Amino acid sequence: MLRKYGEARLPRYTSYPTAPRFSQAVSADTYQGWLNDLPSGDPVSLYLHIPFCRSMCWYCGCHTTISRKDQPILDYLDALREEIRIVADRAPKGLQVGEVHFGGGTPTIIEPAEFASLMELLRQRFEFTAAASIAIEIDPRTLTADMAKALGAAGVGRASLGVQSFDPVVQKAVNRIQSEEQTAEAVDNLRRHGVARINFDL
């Protein structure tokens, strides 16, 4: 396997459809057709991508931008809110949402009030099922107690925490210095505010 694929430039299946499937052939009309074809009786999943981080982890293959300033993030959030409105207006009436996932980048790079506002907009524009699951990806190095509180208040029930490794040699090699204490504090803050289902990326 290593001899066959080790040096190959293979696609990373971290998103669907994968990047090689993107093309100019997919127009706004194509997208509208896909929305029209959604079966109204089956709950759908929403994925919201926040493509910003404060520093680059050298192993990362996700679409992200390193930003020390907040303005590009705020501009992106304006565009994301408009996209939510557009999709909600064009989706079939009565369409229910069963899952919401915030990915990145680092979704918790935004301020707690901004996250609460996004969740409020989603609930205004879409009908959530009673058992809707809300999940988020988190960098424990930057998770604040206020953000953990906002996540719990917004109904987030599951969090995926990036860890990769606690080996300091590996951490230095991948440019992600993160102590066990930082990670434990993030877990404690999340659980304190009702985010009980937690997994680690290793």
Give the model confidence (pLDDT) of 126-173 as tens digits: 999 999 999 999 999 999 999 999 999 999 999 999 999 999 999 999
Q: Are 162 and 55 in contact (CB under 8 A)?
A: no
- Report the side by side order of strands in the sheet with 44-50: 44-50, 96-104, 127-138, 158-162, 197-201
Average pLDDT on 68-89 reads 95
For residues 16-44, average pLDDT: 84
pLDDT confidence bin for 62, thresholds 50/70/90: confident
Q: What pLDDT was estimated at residue 42?
A: 87
Q: Residue 188: which of 159, 163, 168, 166 has the closest Cα? A: 159
43-201: CATH architecture: Alpha-Beta Barrel (3.20)
Per-residue confidence (pLDDT) for residue 63, from 0 to 100: 77
The Cβ of residue 169 has, within 10 Å, a number of other Cβ atoms equal to 8
Q: How confident is the model at residue 174 (pLDDT cuts 50, 70, 90)?
A: very high
Confidence of residue 60 (pLDDT cuts 50, 70, 90): confident
- 5 confidence band (pLDDT: 50, 70, 90): low
SS3 assignment for the chain: CHHHHCCCCCCCCCCCCCHHHCCCCCCHHHHHHHHHCCCCCCCEEEEEEECEECCCCCCCCCCCEECCCCHHHHHHHHHHHHHHHHHHHHCCCCCEEEEEEEEECCHHHCCHHHHHHHHHHHHHHCEEEEEEEEEEEECCCCCCHHHHHHHHHCCCCEEEEECCCCCHHHHHHCCCCCCHHHHHHHHHHHHHCCCCEEEEEC
Q: How confident is the model at residue 94 (pLDDT cuts 50, 70, 90)?
A: confident
Domain layout of the chain by residue ranges: 43-201
Range with the poorest average pLDDT among 87-96, 109-118, 123-132, 191-200:
87-96
pLDDT at 11: 57
